Structures are given as C-alpha cells and as structure tokens.
Structure 1
Amino acid sequence: MLKDVLKAPMTFHQEVSSDVKVGTRVACDGNCGTVKYIGSVSPFEGIWFGVEWDNPARGKHDGSYDKVRYFQTRHPTSGSFVRPHKVSLGQPITCAIIERYGAVEGDMAGVNKDNLESLKHEIKARFIEMVGFDKVNKQQSHFEDLKIVSVCKMMVNGAGPPGHLQRMCPNVRELDLSKNLLNTWESVAEIAVQLEFLENLTISDNILMVPHNPKALQDHFKSLKYIIAAKMSYDWFQILQCAIMWQKLELLKVPRNSISKLEAPPPGVFSNLRALDLSGNLIENWEEINKLGTISSLQQLNVSAVGISMIQFPGEKKTDLFPSLSLLNICDNNIDKWESISELNKLKSIEDLRIRNNPVLDLESLETTRQFIIARIANLKMLNGMKVCEERRGAEYDYLKKFALEWISLDGLPSAPDKDSQIQQFLCAHPRFPELITKHGLPELSELKKMPMTLAENVINIKFVSPQCPEKTYEKALFPTTEVMNLQGFAKRAFRAKKTPKLSYISCKMPGVEHPMPLFTRNLNFYAVEDGDTIIVRW
C-alpha cells in the first residue's frame, strides 16, 4: 500500500503554485538552481522564474535584462530566466529511495548491459563475468533493512508525507543527501527526525539557509555524530550557528567552503568533537587556526591546502592549545621554513604528521628532510603515513652532527655583546638542540665534516626550464648532494607535470650540449652539474 502511494507519478512540470517562492530549489536539464525572482520580464508576456544556477556556466547574465535588474547573482553569468513549466521541483526522499533501491525485474536488476560492456573494455577485463545484481537488488529492496542510503543527485526536495520515511526505512545509520534540491535545514531536520538511528550525514553541495533557531532543531539530530558539509559556501560563523543543532557531533568535515576567519566555539558547541576537516578553505593565517585550540576534545585536524606559510604558537614552551591533538594534516600548503616544523614540537599530544607538498621539503634531500622532521618533533610516531621506529635515534644523531660545528663555534666565541644574541638565534632555529645533546651527547669532532659556515659557500644555483612550459622558469639553490629523484619531485610540482618528468642538463661551459640524467638515485655531483647550469624538464 505504502509503495503504491509513493510510486504515484509526480508532476514535475508544474505551473506556478504556492509551493514555489523565492528561495525554492529547482532543476532543469540536470542543473540545479535557486529561484531568485518570480514575475514578468518586459517585454515578454507571462510569468518567468529568475534562477541562479549552482554552476555559473549554466546561466547567461547576472539577473539583469535589457538594463533592468530583476535579481542579483553571486557570479556574472550564473543567472537566467526560464518558464515555470521548464523546471522540476524535485521529489520527496521516499520516492528517491524507491527509485534507487526498489526491486527491478530481471537478472541484471536494471543495470545497463551496454554500460557494463563499456566498463569491461575500459578496464581491459574481457572475460570478467558480472553476476549477482539481482540478488543485491532484492536485498536492497527490503527498505526496512537498509542501514546505508545514498540519494545523491536524486532531486530530493524534502521528507515527503509525515511518518512515511520512518515506516519505510527505520534502521538507516548513514545517509547521503548531497547535490539535491533541499533549501533549508528545517527540511533536512524533517528527514533526520524520522531516522532514529541516523549517525552519519553527508549534506555537501546543497544551498541551505542557516536556521533562525537552531536550538529548536536539536532533537531532530539527537543521534548524529558525523557530518560532511563540503562546498556549501558557508563561513565559519555560519557553521558555528548550525553546530548548535548537533550536540553529539564527533566528526565534522567542511572542506572547500568560504572559511577565511575562525573563532573559538561558544560553550556547549563542539564539546565532543574529535576530528575536524577544514581543507581547501582559504585561511592562510595560522593565528586563525590557533583560535580552535580551545577545543579540548579535538584529536585530528586537517588544514591541508588552506594557504598557510608559517606555523607559530604563543610562548616558548609546550602550548596549552590543542591539548588532545594527535594527528595534524598540513599537506599542500606554503610552509617554507624549518622553524614552523619546530613549532609543532610545542603540541603536547602530536604523534602523526602529514606534510607532503610544502616548499620546506625541497630544501634538503628526501631522506634528510624526513630525518630533520623526526629530530625536531620529539613525540612523532607517524610521518606521512610511515611509522617512526628505530630510525629516531639515527635521525636525531645525524641532526646533531649536521649542526654541531655551528653550536661549538658559538660556544667558543669570546664574550661579546652579540654572543647571547647569536646563541638565541641558533636556539630559535633549533629549539631541541640542547635536549638532543643531553640525550645523545655531542658527536666527536672526528665524526664531523668540516662544512662551510655559510650555506652560500656550499650551494650551486641551477635554472629549471621546460620546452612544454616555455613561459615558466625557476632558479633554485641546491646542494651538490641533492639526488635526481628530489629534483623530479620539485619539477613535477613547479611545472604541474601530469607524471614524473625526465631530466637532463646543459652545462654553462658547453651551452649546445644536453646531457641526460637517467639514474634518479644519483646526485648532482655524480653528473658534474655546476653553478649556473640549466636543467631541462620533460614529461
């Protein structure tokens, strides 16, 4: 009986009704948008919808026509006018679930055989046999047993008739509502309140108005622990307002939103939060991130690709910020100084660090870079997904040997007004050095290489060019011991190569001759690369 009611055909192409108002979400030819205007457009007859499309390329203007403004868009090409009968107003979630999970006759359970053949050809699996679609479909069509439901891109506009979803899918734990036609958190709450055991909600790529009274919706999300809300155009203050609804929240992912400024959450908000993902937002300033340090329960923080170039905590000793933080992801940023890495040693609980694709990693060879990070952060147990075990002692001792001569030379300086200043500068650059001396002792002088006191005496300046990107040229100061594999990594990022490039070089003494560099484990010394030479990058 319920299925028959829910399967009743919907009238998608409707005339203007009381259900359509400014703010209503609509779809047309696979594109979603928001109604921003309802009325006439001179000199045309009849009623028009002024729609701002989620995809700016779908529209034609900014809400103006013939020098008359009817509505305002965020992008200059995201608006257009359409007739009411051209748009779809979507469907309730119950209909979307039946459409996606309902029983379909036949061995293939509605799966397109041509699409399967195309997939087999694409993955070169000529003899693979596709079986079991009918069995899976029959299992999924028992809606009362569904625990994971995805209605992504199903034009869901709301909960549908009161109580129907609760009777239809009483055991759902995980729900994906991304890329639909929902327009308010109240409409999402009407869905969530019918799912008593709902713990995990994905709501990404929807345009939802922040609720006027979020506290009134707390009981609707009383079991919710995990939320993914990517690409919602929210700033941090809107997220904090929404978070009032989620009293048991443990994991929050809000990547690629409009977050640039942060603020400590008010009392009672995020009191159970263990993991937070802010990746892809344009935050840039680490001082903003420090404002989240009062979230005492936070164990994992992802701030990859947010534009930060420096990390700094207040004070010189262990910080009281982020007391429980054990995992930090700072990949794909602009961190270019070792002092920022040393600052992470101030975190009391840090054990796992992800730090790929930052300029600081190009300052040394790959192996040396890993040793430097391990030596600078005492409690680190995982680095870029690899365990830090027996290598710690060797990394710390090699670090001591690397800078011991500089430390010894400072200690041996005669008393002078600037001696303390020089020692302080060294300790700012290497804050763990005295601790490492206490732990391992100073290396014997016989173990130390007589290295130049200034980097300028020990580096060579190399130019990087690529025939495939003639407009780009890079100059880089490198140690002669830098290995080719590290140069390949730098070149791939710098020139945005789609695969690992091949390198060759041209000597400034023989400008017409190009020498290949095929052995990626060899260093610049091996190929006799000198100051002023040029490396050619191809892929």
Structure 2
Amino acid sequence: MESLRKSSSRLPNVFDGSEIGVIREVTNDLIGARVMQREQRGTIKYVGTLANSPAVWIGVDWDSPDRGRHNGSYKGVKYFDAHGPTSASFVKPDKLTLGTSLEEALVTRYVLCAECQILTRNSALLQPGGDPSTGVRLEIGENAGHLRATLTSTNTSADAEYTDDHTGDRVVAPLTVELFTSNPCDHRHHEKCGAAGAESALRRLRTGSVPGIPVFRCLRDGETEGENPVLWPSTGGRLSFYLPNLVELDLSYSLLSKWTELARICRQLPTLRMLNVSGNHMRLPPTANDNIESLLDSDRRLQFDVDTNPSQAEDLCSTSFTTLHHLAAVRMSNMSWAVLKRIMSWMPSIKEICVAYNPPSISFSSIKLGDFPSVETPDGQSIAETFSGLETLDLTSTELTDFDRVLEVVGSAPHLTSLLLNGNKIRTLRLPTTSPPMLRALNQIGLRDNLLEDWESVNELARLPVLTTLILRQNPILLNCNPNAAARRFIGSFCLDKLKKSINYCIVASSFLMNLIPSFFSCSETARQEIIARLPKLKSLNFLEVAADERRGAELDYLKRYSKTWKEAQDSVDTKAMFAKQHPTFLQICEKYGPPDASDGKVSVLPYFCPLLWPSCNASKFLRYQPVIKSLKEGLLRVHLLCEPPAPNSHGVEHVIERKVPARITINHLRTLVRRVFQLPPQARIDLISLGCRPESSDVEVPLEADTRELGFYGVADGDKLLARWRT
C-alpha cells in the first residue's frame, strides 16, 4: 500500500500535461499551437494585452463551440476570429498546457502498472471516503495487483430509468468490483513503474497506441523530461533505441499542431509502417508558391508552420516518412487535395490512405475535400500520379459528387483493390470503355449512403473484372425495391373515401397488389436479390456472404420478375437492345437455368387479397369481378410447415407452422418463405420435402427439387405437411 502511494505520487499525470508542456515564454510563436485546460482543447489565436489590462493574455478558440464566452471580441475590440459565437475566451498562460511528450505518454501507457495508471489519473480514489465527484473508493488488496473498487451512490431521478425505481432519491447498496492487474508473485513491480522499466517494456513493443493523450512533440536531442525525470530514462532523440520494433503508431486526437514535429518523431522509428494522426489540427511548412508575406503575422502562423526554415522543413519531412505504408488522417480540419498531395509526396512507399470525414465541421475550416480537381489541370495530373501506387483508398464522407473525377484520378491505378466512397453525394456511376479497363484490380467498393438513382449504375459495377465485395445501402434506388413502399405509394394515390365506396377501385387495388406477389413472397431484402442477380461475380454484399443457394434463388427470382418485360421486348430490335442494356445479365441467367416458361410472370388476381386491405368490405361482392377458379392449383393450399432441426435463433418461433400459400407458388419462392418464417440464416441450404397427410402417403417423402416448378406440380394437397431440412 505504501509503496503504491509513493510510486503514484511521484508520477506526473500526462493526461493533464507534463512539465514539458508548461508555457514558459509567452510570445507570438504560440499562435497556432494547440493547448488544453481541464480536458478542453483549443487553438491559440491571439497573444497580447487586452483593453484596460496590462497583463499578457492568450486568446483560445476552443474546439467545443460552447466552451468559451465570446467570439474573439472583448469590450468592443475584435482580437481574433473564432469559429463560433461562444467558442473563444482569454486565458492566463499558467492555466494552459501544451501537453506532454510522446516518450512520457508511451511510458504511462505501456510501462506503468494498472494501479499506478489509475491513481496517477485520480489520486482521490485512495482517500478514506473515495472520490467525492464519482462516489468510487479504491482499496489495495493483500497481494500485488489486487484492487477493490467500491461504488456508493444515491438513486436519483436520472437513474430511475435504469433501476426501475421511481420512488425518489434513496441510498442503494454499494457495488464492489475486484481487479487483478498483475502477477501476485511480483511484490516489487512498483519499482519498475517509470523510467526503470522503460527499456525492457518498450523494446518489445510493436504497436504504440496513445489516442487521446495530449502529445504535442517528442523530446529534443539532449533534452530530458524535466529537472527530476521519473518516466523517461534517457534524453530525447533516442526513440530508435527504445522502440526498435515499433510497426504501428496511433497518435489520434492528440495535440500535434505541426507536421515537422510529427516528422521528428517518425524519423526515429525506422520500422514504422502504420501511422494514425486522425483528429489533429496540423500545419504544413510554407513552400515557395505560398505568398505568406502578404498575410498578417497571426494569419501566417495560423495557416503555416513558420518556425522552421522552409527548405530544412521540406528536407526533414521528405526523409522521415519513407517507410510508411498506411496513413489514417480522419477528421483533419486543414485537409485539402493540395495538402494531401504534398503529404503523400513525402511517403513514397504509401499503399493505404484513409481521409474519411474531412472536414469534421464547416465551423472549423472552410477547406474541404469535395471532388477531385480535373486531370486537365496541373494539380489534377499531379494528384493522379501521386495516387497511382495506392492499394486502398477511403474517401468516406468527403463531399464527393462526381464519380467521373474519381475515375480520372484513381481509375488507372494498377494495384487499387479497395475503394470506399460511403457517405458521399454520388448519383450515377459510368465506366468508360478503355483498355486496360478502369479499376481493373478493384475487388471491394463501398457506396453506402449515396444518391444512386438508377439500376444502370449497379449494372456498371458488373464490368469491374474482379469485384467481389460490395457495400450498397441507403441509396434512393434501393427504396424502389421495397414492396411495402410500393403499396403505400399506390394507396396514397387514391382517395380513401372513394376506395371505401367504389368497388371498381378495390378491384384495381387488388390487381395491383397481386402483381407484387413475387416481391411479397421473396425475402424482405428484395433489393439484395436484385443486386446479386445483376452482379454475377459478387461474393459478399453488405458484409454478408452470398451463398450459392442465395444466388440461385436471387437469379431465379430475377428471371421471374422480368420475364414478362423480356417477352414484350422481343417485338423489335430496338426494344430488345433496350432490354439488354437495362438487364445485361438476363440472358446469362437464361443460359444457366433456361428461358422462362410461357406462364412465368403472370399472376392470377385472387379475391382473398382484398380483405387484407379493407377488412370492413364484404369479400363476396368481389367474386363476380374475379376470374373463375378452374382447379385447385389456382387456389390456396393450407399446409403445415416443419423445420428440422429447429433454427438456433428462432426465439420462440414454433417449429410447426400453418400457412396458406398459392398452389402456383414456385418452389424457389416457397423456400424463401420458409427461410423467413423460421428465421434461418441467409447462408443456410434448405431442402423441401412433401410428407403428405393421407394414410397412403404418410410415410412417403417427396423431394421438392425443381426451383422453377409450382407447388401444385408435386400433387401437394390441402393439409399436407412440408418439411424444411436445412444445413449450413
């Protein structure tokens, strides 16, 4: 207990900054730097005096729009521009911290034991009454690494939602959790918490992850962490010695504000391959083309890193990222195509880039990615050359609207295998006819949450030679495949009063809805079946595998759905060409299963459907308007569905279910109905068997094998049992 208290009391809490991050000189050099105060982060935009105050203040534009008090103005004087009306405030320098060093963050994360990490962040936990703000009390067990945490609180109205107690505040029983964090045989482990254990712990490290810790730089050459170093055993500039095997480094949401500071870190890591700097606000050093002399000093410092000689900065950056293969730069406020092009020019080995969700908010910066510049411009040509070596590109939520521009930049990339365009505003996809084909190595594309509005865009994806994985959700085109939505649109087009009064309107409604029977008897994901049928090489759709059984069902349903249109298109050359353009895989599916029968695509209008829409109507009134039922095959059959074995996720669903189905339902549609009713997994293979109900057929199993045959073909009678045997 005493050794733990002594160990934790001498260790700094790097989450609140360390001695390295203390602001010692208050000058304009601080403008553009990132700072923190009580876990709130912001950017310094002003350094100087205020009206009626001789003291030097620091003007901070906080990331949180409600953290400050004003918009950068004080007593009628505008000192700087803030991104929100209440996001700015003036703070005394000693109330802010620049953060901590990477070395101290790594030791805190990977060298300190769990007890020291907990108590370093919140020493109040060891007080006799615990932490008054949280109600948590921490006790040290008898053995090393044994902790006992106790939570004592009152049940307030805010907790009633979770405790199901609405009687007002009351004291609840304390909750105790025991933690075992280290080897109980190691009674001296606290002696290695800090600098003494850094070398042995860090030299084995392959992944360094310090997200959220306010790292703003590494230690300088010859610099120590402070007057009395307790975390880092050496001077700065020795990361290569302590981290010889580091492959991945996560510095997301830290306090980095300069790419040169990041370069000084990466220069010391010769084996680094993956780097995550998401959520940082970093400035580039200026180039000869940047006209920084025309800018005010404060604007110059906010936009550029002017503290390093430009030529030296360029040499530093161009030699520090040469080993990187993967870069994640999500939610970077100053990201643009020009910035990204320059960053990638420093990374000759880069293979994977993620620049999703840029910009994070228009309030932070007017810069956003948006569409690529045209390749007819010098910037567009340069970007296309820079991106030519990529294998993975993530452009999720980057305001893209023009897929043609995407093709111009990355379409010829010979090794691009994954392209994520989720969350953009792309309306159409068209692939030009080129040799070699565009995106010839692409096997995965993400198009979730776009504005695709025609099936021709989906047809175009079939032209990608090796595409096997597709993410396609939340697009307007998929809404058109929802049969329930189609029914709602139809009903909404009529006046409800007329529907109740006019028998003719009910007949029309019944006819319309019965034409939707193939969709109603298909699975709820009609759009999924449509996509699978249109993309013959697809193996995964929306993170679900496309099994052989599912593909067969989707393709047969596709034949059934468009067979009538196909037959009507045979009348002329023009209509045949138009159909082939709209359904390029239809003939391929016909070659696979045979052309549709003459009866396919025709669904009889049945009177029983009307009462489902309007129960108050008398169904007998409709009979004289309906075709005469000439045989049992054109009516309904009452069948008993059995599942063997029971579905693992049935959640109480009965294993024998009675259903009325049309005698003309195909075996493929019946299989889909069974899959939905018994909640069987999508990849399950289902064999349907007729057991009969008559004495002479009770022991005879008749396999229902032909997917295109109708149920009546097998002589299934009213009351028969149908067994579904499934396997994965």
Which category of TM-score, normalised to the shorter sequence, fits these structures? 0.7 to 0.9
Q: CA deviation at 1:50?
A: 1.7
Cα displacement string for residues 373-424 of structure 1 (whole angstroms, at most 9, x for unaligned residues): 11111221111222223233442232122112112112125xxxxx72x444
The answer as to 2:343 corresponding to 1:242 is yes
Query: Deviation of residue 153 (structure 1)?
Result: 2.3
Contact 1:6 1:94 in 2 (8 A): no
Distance 1:337 1:236 in 2: 29
Match of 2:93 among 35, 59, 84: 84
Alpha-carbon distance in 1 for matches of 2:435, 2:110: 53
- Are 1:313 and 2:387 matched, yes or no? no
**Larger gyration radius, structure 1 or structure 2:** 2
Find 2:536's aligned residue among 351, 370, 378.
Answer: 378
TM-score if structure 2 supplies the norm length?
A: 0.55
Q: Structure 1 residues 6, 201: CA separation in 2 closer, same or farther (over 3 Å shift)?
A: farther
* RMSD, aligned α-carbons: 3.8
1:239–1:400 distance in 2 versus 1, CA, 3 Å: same
5 Å-filtered alignment, 1:209-288, equals 209-212=283-286, 217-233=317-333, 234-257=335-358, 258-263=368-373, 266=383, 269-288=386-405
Q: Of 540, 546, 555, which residue of structure 2 is paired with 1:396?
A: 555
In 2, Cα distance between the equivalents of 1:256 and 1:274?
20
| Alignment TM-score, normalising by the size of structure 1 | 0.73
- The Cα of 1:357 is off from its aligned counterpart by 2.8
Which amino acid in the other structure matches residue 249 of structure 1? I
Cα distance, 1:298 vs. partner? 1.0
- Paired residues for 1:86-165 under 5 Å: 86-104=95-113, 110=119, 114=137, 117=149, 130-133=179-182, 141=198, 142-162=201-221, 163-165=237-239
The aligned runs of 1:181-220 (5 Å cut-off) are 181-212=255-286, 217-220=317-320
Cα deviation, 1:58-82, whole Å, max 9, x if unaligned, reads 2333323333222223344332221
CA distance in 2, matches of 1:449, 1:92: 73
* Secondary structure of 1:360's aligned partner: helix
1:348, 1:117 → 2: CA distance? 58
Q: 1:259 to 1:106 in 2, by over 3 A?
A: closer
Distance 1:321 1:153, change over 3 A: same
Displacement, 1:107?
Answer: 9.5
Aligned-partner SS, 2:66: helix
Give the direction of change, closer, same or farther, for the CA distance of 1:109–1:216 in structure 2 (3 Å limit).
closer
Gap change, CA 1:461 and 1:323, over 3 Å in 2: farther
2:401 is aligned with 1:299: no
CA contact (8 A) 1:274 1:297 kept: yes
> Map of 1:490-529 to 2, 5 A cutoff?
none
What secondary structure sits across from 2:19 in the alignment?
Answer: coil
The match for 2:497 is none
How far is 1:12 from its partner? 4.8
Contact (CA 8 Å) 2:149, 2:178: kept in 1 or not? no
Over residues 92-118 of structure 1, what are the superposed CA-to-partner deviations in whole Å (9 max), with x where a residue is unaligned? 211222233333496997597858857
Aligned residues of 2:400 and 2:426 also touching (Cα < 8 A): yes
Matched to 1:253, the amino acid is: C
Does structure 2 retain, via aligned residues, the 8 Å contact 1:26–1:90? yes
Deviation at 1:318, TM superposition (A): 9.1
- Determine whether 1:448 maps to 2:601: yes
CA separation of 1:319 and 1:68: change in aligned 2, threshold 3 A: farther
1:24 aligns with 2:33: yes
SS of the residue corresponding to residue 416 of structure 2 reads: coil
Alignment partner of 1:412 out of 567, 571, 575: 571
1:330 aligns with 2:447: yes
Name the counterpart of 2:72.
63
State the number of aligned residues. Answer: 447
Structure 1 residues 451 and 59, CA gap change in structure 2 (3 angstroms): farther
Within a 5 Å distance, the mapping from 1:26-65 to structure 2 comes to 26-65=35-74
Seen in structure 2, the aligned counterparts of structure 1 residues 183 and 108 have a Cα distance that, compared at 3 Å, is: closer
d(CA) in 2 for partners of 1:433, 1:236 = 41
Cα contact 2:322–2:347 (8 A) shared by 1: yes
Which letter maps to 1:240?
K
Q: Does 1:360 align with 2:477?
A: yes
Aligned to 1:348: 465
Distance in 2 (CA, whole Å) between partners of 1:16 and 1:337 is 61
Q: CA deviation at 1:130?
A: 3.3
**Matched residues, percent identical?**
30
What residue ranges of structure 1 are gaps of 5+ in the alignment? 414-418, 453-457, 463-519, 523-539
Structure 2 Cα separation of the partners of residues 337 and 461 of structure 1:
31
Q: Give the deviation of 1:190 after TM superposition.
A: 0.2
* Equivalent position SS for 1:26: strand
1:400 partner SS: helix
Q: CA deviation at 1:161?
A: 2.1
Query: For 1:108 and 1:196, how far apart are their aligned partners in 2?
Result: 29
Counterpart of 2:36, as a letter, is: A
1:72 alignment partner, one of 71, 81, 94: 81
